[in-house]
Amino acid sequence: MAGARTVEEILARGGDFDITMFGDEPYGNYNRIMLSNVLAGVEDESGIFLNDLSWYSDNGITLHAGVRIDRIDRKNKVVYAGDGTATPYDKLVIATGSSAFVPPIKGAHVPGRGYHQGVFVFRTLDDTRAMIRYAKEHERAVVIGGGLLGLEAARGLQNHMPHVTLVHAVGHLMERQLNERAGATLKTAVEQKLGIDVIVNGMTTEITGKHAVTGVKLADGRLIECDVVVVAAGIRPNTQVAAESGLAVERGIVVDDQMRARGEEDIYVVGECAQHRGELYGLVAPLWDQARVLADHLTGANRQAAYHGSQIATKLKVAGVDVASMGLLEPQHEDDELIEYAEPRKGVYKSAVIRDGRLVGAILVGDNRKAAFLMKAFDRGLPLPDDRAGLLFDLGGPAAEESVADMPDDEQVCNCNGVSKKAICGVVQDGCATVSGVMDKTRAGKGCGTCKPLVQRIVEWANGGEAAEDPAASYYVPGVPMPKPELMDAIRLYGLKSVSSVFAKLGGEEDAKSKMGLASLLKMMWGAEYVDERDARFINDRVHANIQRDGTFSVVPQMKGGVTTPADLKRIAEVAERHGVPMVKLTGGQRIDLLGIPKEKLPQVWADLDMPSGYAYAKSFRTVKTCVGSDFCRFGVGDSTALGIAIEERYQGIEGPGKMKLAVTGCPRNCAEAYVKDLGVVAIDGGKWEIYVGGAAGAHVRKGDLLATVDSPEEVVKLTGRFLQYYRENGNWLERTYAWVPRVGIEKIRAVVVDDAEGIAAGLDARMDAAVAAYRDPWKERAEPVTPGQFRTSLPLTVLPQVPVRA
Amino acid sequence: MKTLHMIGSIHDIPLGEGRTYAVDGEMIAVFRLRDGSIRALSAVCPHKGGPLADGQVDLKQVVCPLHLYAWDLATGCSLSGQDAVSVYPVRVDDDQLILEM
């Protein structure tokens, strides 16, 4: 396999060689790993061939199948084959692989006749065929060896024979890849799921039976009856020809970092027979790495290509059980961390070994779901989650871990803006390697934001491991190079009361994408003193309505606590009729939405409604959703509607870093969904109220953290104001409470807001009072436009095909 | 052939904002930047037809209000991977906006 792979890699690089291949098996190249499937009868022989004979002829390769090389003449650069031919070479690649190792067991061999009839090794297609033929006519098998190969052999044989026993000389299965607990878990799984008997600590000393096999004898005297024995006790590299031809051979044929045999100019070694920096590799991934390096070097595609050894990380299905293993099996130093989870009844075992914050080993048995993540963390030394349980389990949260390398190029990463992995990688390749830069250029992660962590990982991957440093990531807005606290200090210091003055003093150039965030901040800081430059506002805030896809707007009148009256409903209905409103819709925040209003009609619609704005368009306090509460509900324990109305009455229209959606629910049944709001209030029995903060149920779903339990609606109103003010002053632009609360920490927030640990509560309350006092219904701004053409249409005045026109 | 069009007073456009004009069957967004200069572009966002005149601007770019893609005000080139928009020469004479197209 390693030899043929090397040839494939050479061809792929356009290598200009006349290639001759010798192999002592009479076939082309087949996938040895699949032999256990052939044995198990789940794969056809034909299905395991990687390159059939026509591949060799199509690629101009001369194949001598079934012909062994006996000797290499290094001096004259000729190989001599068993069929008496001599073939000269310029470059020689040795990929002789390995053979089954049979320990010295009495009775395994019949003198002069090779293996005892009924004794098999498990290495080649011929071995496999012979085993199947023989097993079909017999009853009981013993497999000697409890490594990967032995387990696979036992699973395969089980399809042909009713009784299979696996005998392993060591104390637990797969001791190279698993620790003792993991090995024990695997043993139980193999016994219970597959019905294979497993004996550990069983050194086989003898195979009994004179003409036919009758059993195996163990060192402790036990005798296990059987009529077939399979020896799967390991492999040994095939180095004989190399050694006899004078190459340096230790355990394998010794090679350098270019896979060149030690001291040779033109002889290379690849695969299981190669010994690199003292290591032999028997798994497929390292062999592929070696083949790539060798091909790079031979073809000149990259003369500097070097093999540095492989981290052994494997993910396998062993006898039907998922197993993954990498690095250390157990902690070695006193301060190594061991994270371990065992559920023996289900056949699940997981462990991870951490040293200095890096993953240095991991084992999974029975559940491979975290394998890709662990292998990546192990290979690249990635930073690990603080919550170590996240190493072994998917704990939910934004964006599931997915191996970026495994993702298809055209897979959609950002489902809001339709951005593929390929598009992101393209931007990185064009030289933009910061996460925010890529997001700006592609719009990936700029919709609901759920995919941002994945976008970051793709940028890191495409940039070879790390994203470029992006100082702007900490700025409050991209156009002014300061985090929020510094920016606020500077604004106060220089008395900057307009957005243009902030740019002039602190930012240099005006930046369209920073205006809205600055306008919000200045309004919050200066209140009535804020110098309101209308161009700093987003269109929604210029016209107090939410822009829709066709350039029309939606109008949502205030409906405090979701409570309305027949008179108000009639008026809304009349307005909708009079203006031919295309759609009337109930919102998630318990209000009524009039959709499809042209900009120029907004003032008239507001005038006809004569209701206050519901602020369904701003980064501001939005609504308070309520349930019917104790007035009518049989279960209500608190008057949620009255409290909801009181809260909305007081905090209506307050702007902030992100929108603020609230709810009050009259009992823990939570009909108003208070647990998933920026601030949610829950009445509990005994006249008390719980206040939850930082909840969300949008693109991101999070249950809020309990801030406090208080005794009266008045206290709820007070703490609500104080919490919102603390958020307004400290949250980053567009950072919703579901991100801000966990970032700051609920303990810290509780200390400030509830316990006044920093002595700032009075100040927070006073500043919120001022903001509340400054409230003015924006829909009153309708008699005269504030700016010329404030409500003039921006829609095409002639119909253009690009713009969908609503019926 | 290019023609000059008088499309209105400079004072119809607030500083730092844009307004849409219908000129000879075309929709043109005209912006009055904070440094006093004037820019004119095709009014329709090539992405999803958004009204560019409702977008926020600085001295370099306009950001479409619908999906926040950006275009260079001077060249019409997209700064975020979309198709370009047409730009038109525009100047002010005696407070009157004069567009050439």
Structural domains present in chain B: 4-91 (2.102.10.10)
Looking at the complex, report in whole angstroms how far the Cα of residue B44 sits from the nearest Cα belonging to chain A.
Answer: 8
Q: Complex ipTM, two decimals?
A: 0.96
Q: What's the CATH class of domain A412-474? A: mainly alpha
Residue A516 contacts B where some CB pair is shorter than 8 Å: yes
Return the closest-CA partner of residue A437 out of A744, A426, A648, A290.
A426
Residue A441 contacts B where some CB pair is shorter than 8 Å: yes
Looking at the complex, report in whole angstroms how far the Cα of residue A785 sits from the nearest Cα belonging to chain B.
Answer: 12
Please say whether the beta carbons of B33 and B59 come within 8 A: yes
Do A535 and B15 make contact, defined as CB atoms within 8 angstroms? yes
The number of C-alpha atoms within 13 Å of A237 and in the hemisphere containing its C-beta is 24
Residue limits of CATH 3.30.413.10 in chain A: 621-773
Residue limits of CATH 3.90.480.10 in chain A: 541-618
Do A803 and B44 make contact, defined as CB atoms within 8 angstroms? yes
In the DSSP assignment, the letter for residue A188 is H
Looking at the complex, report in whole angstroms how far the Cα of residue A476 sits from the nearest Cα belonging to chain B.
Answer: 18
Residue of B nearest to A541 (CA): B54
Do B56 and A795 make contact, defined as CB atoms within 8 angstroms? no
Do B65 and A547 make contact, defined as CB atoms within 8 angstroms? yes
Which residue among A511, A787, A792 sits closest to B58, beta carbon to beta carbon?
A511
Structure tokens at B33: 């930047």
Residues of chain B with pLDDT under 50: none
Residues of chain A with pLDDT under 50: 397-400, 797-807
Burial class (CB in 10 A: 0-12, 13-18, 19+), A26: exposed
Residue B31 contacts A where some CB pair is shorter than 8 Å: no
Rounded CA-CA distance A323/A359 in Å is 18
Other Cβ atoms within 10 Å of A623 Cβ, number: 28
Residues of chain A with Cβ-Cβ distance to B79 below 8 Å are 440-441
Rounded CA-CA distance A306/A309 in Å is 9
Instruction: Dihedral sign for Cα A615, A619, A620, A623, please.
Output: positive
Residue limits of CATH 3.50.50.60 in chain A: 2-99+237-299, 102-233
Optimal mutation site among B9, B56, B67, interface A, most CBs of chain A within 10 A: B56
Q: Which ranges in A276-356 belong to alpha helices (H)? A: 284-299
Residue A368 contacts B where some CB pair is shorter than 8 Å: no
Residue B98 contacts A where some CB pair is shorter than 8 Å: no
Residue A800 contacts B where some CB pair is shorter than 8 Å: yes
Residues of chain B with Cβ-Cβ distance to A532 below 8 Å are none
Q: At what angle do helices A421-429 and A452-462 cross, to 10 degrees?
A: 50
In angstroms and rounded to an integer, the radius of gyration of the C-alpha atoms of chain B is 12
Looking at the complex, report in whole angstroms how far the Cα of residue A540 sits from the nearest Cα belonging to chain B.
Answer: 9
Q: Which CATH architecture has domain A541-618?
A: Alpha-Beta Complex (3.90)
Rounded CA-CA distance A207/A694 in Å is 70
Rounded CA-CA distance A190/A169 in Å is 17
Residue limits of CATH 3.30.390.30 in chain A: 313-392
Optimal mutation site among B13, B27, B45, interface A, most CBs of chain A within 10 A: B27
Optimal mutation site among A539, A543, A599, A793, interface B, most CBs of chain B within 10 A: A539
Establish, for the pair of chains A and B, how many residue pairs have beta carbons separated by less than 8 Å: 116
Write out residues 38-97 of B within 8 Å (CB-CB) of A: 43-44, 46, 48-63, 65-70, 79-81
Which residue among A446, A512, A794 sits closest to B20, beta carbon to beta carbon?
A794
Rounded CA-CA distance A440/A303 in Å is 39
Residue A795 contacts B where some CB pair is shorter than 8 Å: yes
Residue A536 contacts B where some CB pair is shorter than 8 Å: yes
Looking at the complex, report in whole angstroms how far the Cα of residue A609 sits from the nearest Cα belonging to chain B.
Answer: 25
In angstroms and rounded to an integer, the radius of gyration of the C-alpha atoms of chain A is 37
Q: A621-773: which CATH topology?
A: Sulfite Reductase Hemoprotein; domain 1 (3.30.413)
pLDDT of A399 reads: 39
pLDDT of A614 reads: 95
Q: Are strands B61-63 and B70-72 parallel, antiparallel or unpaired?
A: antiparallel
Residue of A nearest to B57 (CA): A512
Q: Which CATH architecture has domain A2-99+237-299?
A: 3-Layer(bba) Sandwich (3.50)
Rounded CA-CA distance A477/A474 in Å is 9
Q: What's the CATH class of domain A313-392? A: alpha beta
Structure tokens at A738: 């579901």
Do B14 and A788 make contact, defined as CB atoms within 8 angstroms? yes
Q: Which ranges in A617-760 belong to alpha helices (H)? A: 629-632, 640-651, 713-730, 737-744, 746-753
Do B58 and A441 make contact, defined as CB atoms within 8 angstroms? no
Do A442 and B70 make contact, defined as CB atoms within 8 angstroms? no
Structure tokens at A44: 């056809």
Q: What's the CATH class of domain A102-233? A: alpha beta
Please say whether the beta carbons of A350 and A363 come within 8 A: yes
Do B66 and A549 make contact, defined as CB atoms within 8 angstroms? yes
Do A535 and B49 make contact, defined as CB atoms within 8 angstroms? no
Rounded CA-CA distance A462/A407 in Å is 12
Residue A549 contacts B where some CB pair is shorter than 8 Å: yes
Cα end-to-end distance, chain A, whole Å:
66
Return the closest-CA partner of residue B93 out of B3, B8, B2, B1.
B8
Residues of chain B with Cβ-Cβ distance to A425 below 8 Å are none
Residues of chain A with Cβ-Cβ distance to B63 below 8 Å are 512-513
Residues of chain A with Cβ-Cβ distance to B55 below 8 Å are 512, 539
pLDDT of A400 reads: 43
Structure tokens at A627: 């349930």
Optimal mutation site among B60, B68, B95, interface A, most CBs of chain A within 10 A: B68
Which residue among B14, B53, B81 sits closest to A794, beta carbon to beta carbon?
B53
Do A539 and B27 make contact, defined as CB atoms within 8 angstroms? no
Q: Which ranges in A122-179 belong to alpha helices (H)? A: 125-135, 148-158
Rounded CA-CA distance A120/B56 in Å is 78
Rounded CA-CA distance A452/A439 in Å is 9
Please say whether the beta carbons of A263 and A248 come within 8 A: yes
Do B16 and A533 make contact, defined as CB atoms within 8 angstroms? yes
pLDDT of A609 reads: 96
